[in-house]
């Protein structure tokens, strides 16, 4: 027997509420984000993953483009050696925009599995619905001349490969991220295997009620990214109009009433609203408190109603670098008026 590596203050994972996917599989209501925002080194993120899993985390949100899956794979190997079982974990990854082409999705998934040192993923996302690549760390005005608007047929060719990964047993569920209702309607119309989860930006200042309800009505569970308003996001993702969630008066009022950090209010709001936040943290005190807050000291109905009024439709991850030549501003990525710019085949079967 090796030494017991479970910390004394570890959370019992059974206490963390679960969501049930349409397949019957269960997911914990809170996971650990792993995007170091181009500033937290991969080693630090991987160390947090190792300690977080030993301390009770069971869901980890990874992605090839975060550039740290190989080190996170070493962490997973260590937690398995410490006695955590693969089936206890819910591991997520995402195919990056430059790997949508024929055969590429399978290759990308194989690389991720190799890096993470796993036989299968619990959930695999198409990270963005565009095959538009930008180099890591590029500035906000970078445009790739090969970038194109959403082309549904191309997306479905990528999705067919995602479905194939499920058939092959390499991936248990597939999902979408950064989609809109018009895009999701088309995907639902044409898919063979339905997306199980939509990973979308959600925090008190950006509640996206229409897309949220559309997912719930269609049996798609929801992961909320940037749940604390991503205070350390890259400079390219900041604009002067952006709202700081932890400074919203509604969030501060609830934090004061409970004697907790405003970040914790954002997470409690997410869990009680009914989605699954994936806060990033490499600070032990913070990631332990984030996990515990899912089952301790709930907010009241009145506080939830107050937080609903904090919505300012403030999108933080606008996606400018994915725009194509000839596009207008970043709103063209988000089908603001209910149509998909640059693609007119909505009625085509
Ligand atoms: N699908 C997509 O396109 C997409 C896009 C963006 C993000 N994501 C995913 O979503 C995850 C989360 O988003 P994010 O990393 O941008 O932002 P976030 O989770 O909203 O914010 C993370 C920041 O909050 C701090 N923090 C965490 N817990 C705290 C607490 N209890 N008290 C005070 N501060 C706290 C962290 O600092 P410390 O480290 O010091 O705790 C970190 O700086 C990402 O890591 C990634 O996995 C997905």
Asked if residue 254 lies in contact with residue 307, where contact means CB atoms within 8 angstroms, the answer is yes
Distance 32 CA to ligand 1 centre (A): 8
Nearest atom, ligand 1, residue 203 CA: 20
CA distances from 140 to 67, 126, 321 (A): 20, 22, 6
Q: What is the distance between the alpha carbons of residues 128 and 114, in angstroms, rounded to a whole number? A: 22
Whether 204 is in the pocket of ligand 1, judged by its Cβ within 6 Å, is no
Q: Domains in the chain, please, with CATH?
A: 15-334 (3.20.20.100)
> What pLDDT does 128 receive?
97
Tens place of pLDDT per residue across the chain (349 aa): 457 899 999 999 999 999 999 999 999 999 999 999 889 999 999 999 999 999 999 999 999 999 999 999 999 999 999 999 999 999 999 999 999 999 999 999 999 999 999 999 999 999 999 998 887 778 888 888 899 999 999 999 999 999 999 999 999 999 999 999 999 999 999 999 999 999 999 999 999 999 999 999 999 999 999 999 999 998 888 999 999 999 999 999 999 999 999 999 999 999 999 999 999 999 999 999 999 999 999 999 999 999 999 999 999 999 988 998 888 899 999 999 899 987 665 444 4
Is 120 a catalytic site residue? no
Choosing from 57, 66, 150, 212, which is the catalytic residue? 66
> What pLDDT does 345 receive?
59
DSSP letters spanning 251-263: HHHHHHHHT--HH
Q: What is the distance between the alpha carbons of residues 270 and 212, in angstroms, rounded to a whole number? A: 12
CA distances from 319 to 67, 150, 221, 324 (A): 19, 13, 23, 11
Sequence-ordered list of residues with C-beta below 8 angstroms from that of 157, at least 6 positions apart, any chain: 100, 102
**Over the stretch 45-83, which tens digit does the pLDDT of each residue have?**
999 999 999 999 999 999 999 999 999 999 999 999 999
Q: Whose Cα sits closest to atom 36 in ligand 1?
A: 281
> What pLDDT does 134 receive?
80
SS3 183: helix
Whether 227 is in the pocket of ligand 1, judged by its Cβ within 6 Å, is yes
pLDDT, the chain, mean: 95
Asked if residue 173 belongs to a known ligand binding site, the reply is: no
SS3 203: strand
Whether 228 is in the pocket of ligand 1, judged by its Cβ within 6 Å, is yes
Whether 47 is in the pocket of ligand 1, judged by its Cβ within 6 Å, is no
Ligand 1, pocket-test mutation among 65, 195, 197, 230, most atoms within 8 A of CB: 230
Whether 115 is in the pocket of ligand 1, judged by its Cβ within 6 Å, is no
pTM above 0.85, yes or no: yes
Q: Which of 227, 226, 238, 307 is nearest to 267 (CA)?
A: 227
Q: What is the distance between the alpha carbons of residues 112 and 94, in angstroms, rounded to a whole number? A: 9
């Amino acid at each position: 027997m090796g030494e017991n590596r479970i910390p004394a203050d570890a959370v019992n994972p059974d206490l963390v509420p679960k969501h049930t996917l349409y397949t019957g599989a269960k997911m914990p209501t809170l996971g650990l984000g792993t995007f170091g925002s181009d500033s937290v080194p991969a080693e630090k993120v991987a160390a947090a993953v190792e300690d977080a899993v030993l301390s009770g985390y069971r869901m980890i949100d990874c992605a090839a483009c975060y550039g740290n899956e190989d080190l996170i794979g070493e962490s997973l190997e260590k937690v398995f050696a410490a006695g955590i079982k693969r089936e206890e974990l819910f591991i997520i990854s995402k195919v990056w925009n430059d790997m949508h082409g024929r055969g590429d999705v399978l290759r990308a998934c194989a690389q991720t599995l190799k890096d993470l040192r796993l036989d299968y993923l619990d959930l695999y996302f198409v990270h963005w619905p565009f095959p538009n690549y930008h180099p890591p760390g590029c500035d906000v005005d970078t445009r790739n001349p090969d970038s194109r608007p959403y082309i549904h047929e191309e997306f479905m060719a990528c999705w067919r490969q995602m479905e194939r990964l499920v058939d092959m047993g390499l991936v248990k569920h597939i999902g979408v991220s950064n989609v809109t209702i018009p895009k999701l309607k088309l995907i639902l119309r044409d898919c063979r295997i339905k997306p199980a989860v939509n990973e979308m930006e959600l925090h008190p200042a950006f509640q996206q009620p229409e897309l949220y309800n559309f997912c719930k009505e269609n049996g798609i569970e929801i992961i909320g990214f940037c749940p604390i308003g991503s205070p350390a996001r890259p400079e390219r993702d900041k604009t002067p109009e952006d709202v700081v969630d932890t400074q919203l008066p509604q969030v501060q009022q609830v934090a004061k009433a409970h004697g907790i950090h405003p970040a914790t209010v954002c997470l409690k709001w997410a869990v009680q609203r009914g989605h699954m936040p994936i806060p990033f943290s490499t600070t032990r005190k913070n990631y332990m408190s984030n996990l515990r807050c899912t089952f301790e000291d709930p907010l009241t109905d009145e506080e939830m109603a107050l937080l609903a009024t904090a919505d300012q439709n403030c999108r933080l991850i606008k996606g400018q670098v994915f725009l194509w030549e000839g596009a207008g501003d970043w709103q063209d990525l988000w089908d603001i008026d209910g149509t998909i710019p640059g693609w007119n085949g909505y009625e085509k079967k």
